[in-house]
C-alpha cells in the first residue's frame, strides 16, 4: 500500500516522539518536520535520521505535499494558523477547534471531518474508561484527576494548562452529557512518577461514588517511559492518521 504523506509542525519532545512513531508506520511517510528554532534538539535529531526539516514553521508545511498535518505546538499557535484548507489536520493541542475525537468512541465520525482535536492526554485515557462504567446514565457528576511528573511537563504543557483543564472537562460533557471537572497535578517527586489517573463518578440516589485509578506508562521511543502523558497523545494521533490513510488509499 502506498504510504500517505504527513507533516509535523512542532519540534519539541512531543513532535519528535511523534516523528519516531510515524517512521515506524507502514502507512505513513513524514515529508516535513517543521519548527521555528534552528537550535531545536528535535530538528537536529530529525536531520540525523535524514528527515526533511525546516524552521519556517507553518509556511514549510503548506509548501509541502503532506496530506495529513499534525500540530504538536500549542493551543495559542494552533488558533493562529488553523484551520487550513485541503489537508486533514490532527490537532494534538487543547485548542478545541476541530471535531473532538477519542478513537474508541467516534473514529468513523472524525475521519469525515477536515480537522480533529485529540482534546488532551487525560481525555484520551479517561474517556474510554468512563464509557465502560455501568449505569453511567445515572451519573450526575464526574471529576478526573491527572498527576504527571514535573520533568514531563514541558513549556507547552505548562502554557496550555488552562486550556487543558477546560477542554478535558468539556469533552466529558460532550460525549456523556454529564457535568465534569478536570484537575491536573504536576508532581516534582524523584524518581519521576508515571502518569497516574483518578476518575471519580457520583451517581444519583447513591451514596457511594465509583472511583477508578490507573497508571499509564509510555513506549520509550523518544520520550521516557514515565512520560506516558505525552506518549498517549502521540499513539492516538498515529492511530487516527493510519485510519485516515486506510480509508483514502482504497
Give catalytic residues, as residue numbers: 121
Whose grid coordinates read 457535568?
179
The answer to whether 171 is a known ligand-binding residue is no
Strands 139-149 and 180-187, sheet pairing: parallel
DSSP state of 74: -
The answer to whether 53 is a known ligand-binding residue is no
99: nearest Cα among 112, 87, 86, 85: 112
The answer to whether 42 is a known ligand-binding residue is no
The answer to whether 162 is a known ligand-binding residue is no
Q: What is the SS3 assignment for 36?
A: coil
110: nearest Cα among 122, 119, 98: 98
The answer to whether 159 is a known ligand-binding residue is yes
The answer to whether 194 is a known ligand-binding residue is no
The answer to whether 158 is a known ligand-binding residue is yes
Residue 128 in grid coordinates: 474510554
Name residue 5's beta-bridge partners. 29
The answer to whether 160 is a known ligand-binding residue is yes
- Known binding site: residues? 152-160
* Residues that constitute the known binding site for NAD(+): 152-160
Amino acid at each position: 500500500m502506498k504510504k500517505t504523506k504527513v507533516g509535523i509542525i512542532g519540534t519539541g519532545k512531543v513532535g519528535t516522539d511523534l516523528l519516531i512513531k510515524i517512521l515506524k508506520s507502514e502507512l505513513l511517510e513524514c515529508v516535513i518536520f517543521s519548527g521555528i528554532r534552528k537550535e531545536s534538539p528535535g530538528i537536529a535529531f530529525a536531520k540525523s535520521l535524514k528527515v526533511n526539516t525546516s524552521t519556517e514553521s507553518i509556511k514549510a508545511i503548506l509548501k509541502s505535499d503532506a496530506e495529513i498535518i499534525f500540530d504538536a505546538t500549542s493551543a495559542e499557535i494552533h488558533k493562529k494558523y488553523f484551520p487550513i484548507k485541503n489537508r486533514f489536520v490532527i490537532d494534538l493541542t487543547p485548542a478545541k477547534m476541530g471535531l473532538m475525537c477519542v478513537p474508541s468512541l467516534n473514529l468513523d465520525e472524525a475521519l469525515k471531518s477536515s480537522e480533529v482535536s485529540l482534546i488532551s492526554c487525560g481525555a484520551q485515557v479517561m474517556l474510554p474508561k468512563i464509557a465502560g462504567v455501568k449505569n453511567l446514565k445515572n451519573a450526575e457528576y464526574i471529576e478526573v484527576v491527572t498527576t504527571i511528573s514535573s520533568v514531563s511537563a514541558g513549556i507547552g504543557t505548562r502554557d496550555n494548562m488552562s486550556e487543558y483543564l477546560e477542554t478535558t472537562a468539556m469533552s466529558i460533557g460532550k460525549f456523556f452529557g454529564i457535568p465534569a471537572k478536570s484537575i491536573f497535578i504536576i508532581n516534582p517527586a524523584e524518581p519521576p512518577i508515571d502518569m497516574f489517573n483518578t476518575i471519580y463518578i457520583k451517581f444519583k440516589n447513591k451514596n457511594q461514588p465509583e472511583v477508578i485509578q490507573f497508571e499509564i506508562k509510555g513506549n520509550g521511543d523518544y520520550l521516557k517511559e514515565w512520560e506516558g502523558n505525552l506518549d498517549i497523545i502521540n499513539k492516538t494521533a498515529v492511530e487516527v492518521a493510519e485510519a485516515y490513510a486506510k480509508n483514502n488509499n482504497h
